[in-house]
Structure 1
Amino acid sequence: MTTVLETRNLVKRFGAFAATNDVSLKVEKGARQALIGPNGAGKTTLINLLTGVLEPTSGSVILEGQDITRLPSHQRVRRGIVRTFQINQLFNELTPLQSLALTVSNQLGISGRLWQALGRDERVAQRCDELLKQFHLDDVQDQKVALLAYGKRRQLEIATALACNPRMLLLDEPVAGVPEGERQEIFDIVNALPAEVTVLLIEHDMDLVFNFARTVSVLVNGALFAEGDVKSIASDPRVKSVYLGEGTPHG
């Protein structure tokens, strides 16, 4: 297996508090890996370190063998690390088609003439059509984002991330805030992501985690607490105690 993303002894301190504490994590090529942990475990801090939103106090982040610890976020995106957010970062006044056209055009280096490209560049039109169908957005492609059901907005955010052609896709709680009746469509979409895209999923919804992941990493109090396949993690009494609040502090 080829390691796509790796952290080595990653530490992030805020004063005396260690939000991440000596985290060494590997994500292999094509992985379907989940990062779970109770509230306050340090999951979002770790993702912010991986994507360059935060700089570590010590330790390193390695992408495909290259140290990217000090690279800014936009350079990491160019190298293939793309994320979604717990709270979507979409433009409410655009439509799904326009949102995807903006991203696809930027990837093709023609974002300066977006509106012309949307109508005339066959590459943009074709890729947008593929993404709209893949993410079940073709029936709402011309509606403003502000008017979309929340589940559809989450689908659009994942579609926009995939339009960036990621090598490493970080999905930060993709069903957070999504009504129960809209979750299955997101489950199906996440499960159907291209096999060549390596995915690290950060999620509280255990149905999604155990339906999607082949490897599960558990973070507690900023440290890597347990790691293994879905069956071993689901049956681990130490992991159960973390989620039930028995014995192990939540942090």
Structure 2
Amino acid sequence: MNPNTNDVVLETKHLVKRFGGITATNDVSLTLRRGARHALIGPNGAGKTTLINQLTGVSAPTEGQVLLGGRDITGLAPHKRVALGLARTFQINQLFGELTPMQSLALAVSSRRDAARRWWQPMGSDTTITEEVETLLTQFRLEAHADRRTRELPYGKRRLLEIGLAVALKPSVLLLDEPAAGVPASERQDILDTVAALPEDVSVVLIEHDMDLVFSFAKSMTVLVNGTVLTEGTPEQIAADPRVKAVYLGEQTHG
């Protein structure tokens, strides 16, 4: 791993989150470097989503810091973190059912380019936005569904659209919260292939229970148990760790 601190894009320092007498995250320190493919795993109730909520500003930490590109963002609102390059997807997709994928992506691209203020202009009048939307539709396997209402899409396509909307914001850090959750087996390969093909300059943190997706994607992993970091390492190291097997993976192994 490159020790150059200029490569650090996201960092947490001693994050603690308490809900009454319950400690959901306990002294969690993580370092994410440029281009990372990092998985955050652990049993249900380990504190994974609580940690992501602290990274994105949905939930303020009780103690500790969150830094993005070396800047302390601990007190920033979620939308300001997005503007600085931190995007996420959700366990349950957050989409506008009546819009088409083309319209949704156009809004995301326009918002990033600050073209949303020119709302009175017909969609498609800005060729640079149109070209970028077409590229995203192809990248996320949505060309054949571009003009269907989102609520009519197969569930796997909705998950792909949500990832596409996050990528349309051109984040430096992308947090994927269980992108394969609820996706039928017949559509899961599209998720795996699309996540694997995400832009190399985007640093990705993946939360996922699908171990096939985790181990095919991640180059590094953190295991959370009871809100505490149990261990970190490569997928090979994690798969071979007897503590991880005991609390989470069982005896299954992955190459």
- Shorter-chain TM-score: what band? over 0.9
2:162 corresponds to 1:157: yes
The answer on 1:124 being equivalent to 2:129 is: yes
- For residue 213 of structure 1, the aligned residue among 218, 227, 237 is 218
Aligned with 1:75: secondary structure?
A: helix
Q: What is the DSSP-based 3-state SS (H/G/I as helix, E as strand, rest coil) of the residue aligned with 2:40?
A: strand
Structure 2 residue runs without a partner (length 5+): none
One-letter amino acid of the counterpart of residue 234, structure 1 = A
Q: Secondary structure at the match of 1:120?
A: coil
Residue 31 (1) aligns with residue 28 (2): no
Give the equivalent residue in structure 2 for 1:168.
Answer: 173
TM-score by length of 2: 0.94
> What SS class does the counterpart of residue 123 from structure 2 fall into?
helix
Alignment of 1:160-199 (within 5 A): 160-199=165-204
What TM-score, normalized to structure 1? 0.96
- CA shift, 1:116, in A, is 2.3
Identify the match of residue 138 of structure 1 among 143, 150, 163: 143
The secondary structure found in structure 2 opposite 1:88 is: coil
* CA RMSD after TM alignment: 1.2
Alignment partner of 1:73 out of 78, 83, 89: 78
Match of 1:47 in 2: 52
Equivalent residue, structure 2, for 1:204: 209
Q: What letter corresponds to residue 192 of structure 1 in structure 2?
A: A
Deviation at 1:115, TM superposition (A): 6.3
Partners of 2:236 and 2:43 lie apart in 1 by 19
Measure, in 2, the Cα distance between the counterparts of 1:244 and 1:203.
13
Paired residue total: 246
User: Are residue 113 (structure 1) and residue 118 (structure 2) matched?
Assistant: yes
> Contact 1:117 / 1:124 at 8 angstroms: preserved in 2?
no
Shift of 1:118: 2.1
Question: In the alignment, what sits opposite 1:63?
Answer: 68
Residues in 2 aligned to 1:138 and 1:115: alpha-carbon distance in whole angstroms? 26
Deviation at 1:117, TM superposition (A): 5.0
State the alpha-carbon separation in 2 of the partners of residues 12 and 152 from structure 1: 34
**Structure 1 residue corresponding to 2:229, chosen from 224, 229, 234:** 224
- Runs of 4 or more, structure 1, over 4 Å off, are none
**What SS class does the counterpart of residue 224 from structure 2 fall into?**
strand
Task: Note if 1:240 corresponds to 2:245.
Answer: yes
> CA distance change for structure 1 residues 117 and 212 in 2, over 3 Å: closer, same or farther?
farther
CA contact (8 A) 1:34 1:209 kept: yes
- Name structure 1 gaps, 5 residues minimum: 247-251
